Chain A
């Protein structure tokens, strides 16, 4: 076993601890500061269902307002990073991100319609539902156009994704032009991603989808590795390439669609985190997937913290910061690593 393979369990453990700390820290910071120890007590009291909470205001802020949003940020970060890893492997393209199959353009149109025309536009659907519906329609279209006699060819799929993306973007732009300024601001905010609207009620669905997806994908890690060596080679290793690709593309689309429905189009995380993680732990998916999930979670919790504190009490969209902080770091890492290019 190589050095990095032996070090990975330690890295995973370290990131898991870091995630817990960052979550507690983020929950405590804001217009009302809550000390780390108090945050810990409040969360523990709720989790165990016992214990006294003395400070009811702090309890409201920590448990009702901040924790759902911080957890949603963590889930989105983990989900997007993992979706990025898998899509890059499935379409054999390093430029692929979770939105490569048109998910974001479809959901943007769905959201734009509801923001500008109101819930009546799509039969009473809210923004999240409309975004999810739009995402699934776009993906279905890309799948239909990207297949040829039942085979999904990666290049064709990516091109279909690009074409469908432009088509939906054109429609979204048209809708945007007819929107009132205040609607446009809301829509802009949504398009750049935000977890400000997090609620406990939707969190459980997102958590189930993200956790189940990550576990399932880790199980398929060995087969994804086989796919890295090419379709023919994977077939010779006993992998049913066609079934694997369709199944995992559907899973990744469902995952991305769910995330974008609750958080909008958070960019960069799903493109760069996978590359960043590979630079550190190599390409074996059984290492890349868990590390990417945890790293993505930590990263987005921090980014969300910045987005709501840097210009407090105003909030800024996540999409601005994910790239503003991530890109320089990624470029630095890229220059340090001699094995790339």
Chain B
């Protein structure tokens, strides 16, 4: 489903965190949200998965305002893979993934065979079925992220949002995870810290700087040398190479003045 933010503002304790953010993630696309630390990326994402209500503005998933829906209905459409899940103590992999069925089940519902199938299929798709009965806390970083992705898939979302999913992963695990996300085909909106991965994997980029959109659009149009210099403070250029892959080339002296 399409995601649209219409003039979203967030103020926390009077301090503006996001101001007049307008952005659009088209159906079926993979859009990356990039920007320096503290630019408001995670805050922006929180307004989408219904954790932080915007001070003003509208967040639409499909045609509907997320903040007019109940938390449960919103979570039937949008699934999130977040950074803070390391605290998950004592649950097995299968139990963590089964939590993805939460928005589809009421207080009195029990998990049906269908729910069980969805959970198993989700684990299979992200390659974690083999350790379904292991404790989540015993997994490596890359395995954990794949489990959390499986949990998000078990929500059967129309929109997938991810907050720095490749953080703390080794280089192979990063590529594996982004490949996996790319193959899903679900509309995806991801905060990505790693610019090299972002330009490589995303269809479009949104650049956030101090709570406002600095640039947005297809990767090459959004991440121009000017944006790289003024927002990120580096001297670099982004090009599509002969093999079709977009890469960033940093200059010999990469620190822009």
Contacts and interface: CB of A to CB of B under 8 A. Distances in A.
Are A and B genuine complex partners? Answer: yes
B103 A282 contact: no
A238 B74 contact: yes
Contacts of B252: none
Nearest to B152: A236
B38 to A, nearest CB: 18
Interface in A230-254: 230-233, 235-240
A237 B99 contact: yes
A229 B88 CA distance: 5
A92 B84 CA distance: 13
Contact of B71 (A2, A222, A228, A235): A235
B102 A228 contact: no
Interface of A: 2-3, 92, 219-220, 222-223, 225-226, 228-233, 235-240, 278, 282-284, 339
Contacts of B50: 235-236
Nearest to B87: A230
A219 B108 CA distance: 7
With most chain B CB atoms within 10 A of its CB, the pick from A233, A235, A236, A283 is A236
B224 interface: no
A155 to B, nearest CB: 13
Interface string B126-159: 0000000101011000000000000000010000
Contacts of A225: 91, 95, 99
Contacts of B102: 222-223, 226, 237-239
B96 interface: yes
Given A2-B92, A237-B99, A282-B90, 12 more contacts: A220-B107, A229-B85, A230-B87, A232-B46, A233-B82, A233-B85, A236-B78, A236-B82, A237-B75, A237-B102, A239-B75, A339-B135
A237 B103 contact: yes
Contacts of A229: 85, 87-88, 91, 96, 99
B190 interface: no
Closest 3 CB pairs of A and B: A238-B75, A283-B90, A238-B103
Contacts of B92: 2, 282
A225 B46 CA distance: 21
A262 to B, nearest CB: 29
Contacts of A220: 107
Nearest to B94: A2
B96 A236 contact: no
Contacts of B74: 238
A223 B224 CA distance: 45
A230 B90 contact: no
By size class, the interface of chain B is: 35 or more
With most chain B CB atoms within 10 A of its CB, the pick from A223, A238, A283, A339 is A238
Contacts of A235: 49-51, 71
B245 interface: no
Contact of A219 (B88, B89, B96, B107): B107
A238 B85 CA distance: 16
Contacts of A240: 70-71
A47 B197 CA distance: 71
B87 A236 contact: no
B91 A283 contact: yes
Interface string B160-193: 0000000000000000000000000000000000
Nearest to B116: A1
B11 interface: no
Contacts of B84: 230, 232-233
Contacts of A283: 89-91, 95
A93 B116 CA distance: 31
B79 interface: yes
B80 interface: yes
Interface string B36-69: 0000000000100111000000000000000000
A235 B135 CA distance: 23
A223 B46 CA distance: 19
Contacts of A237: 75, 99-100, 102-103, 155
A6 to B, nearest CB: 12
A285 to B, nearest CB: 10
Contacts of B155: 237
B72 interface: yes
B226 interface: no
A207 B107 CA distance: 23
B24 interface: no
A221 to B, nearest CB: 10
Contact of B75 (A92, A236, A278, A282): A236
Contacts of A3: 133
Contacts of A278: 90
Nearest to A221: B107
A142 to B, nearest CB: 23
A222 B73 CA distance: 16
With most chain A CB atoms within 10 A of its CB, the pick from B87, B90, B96, B133 is B90
Contacts of B46: 232
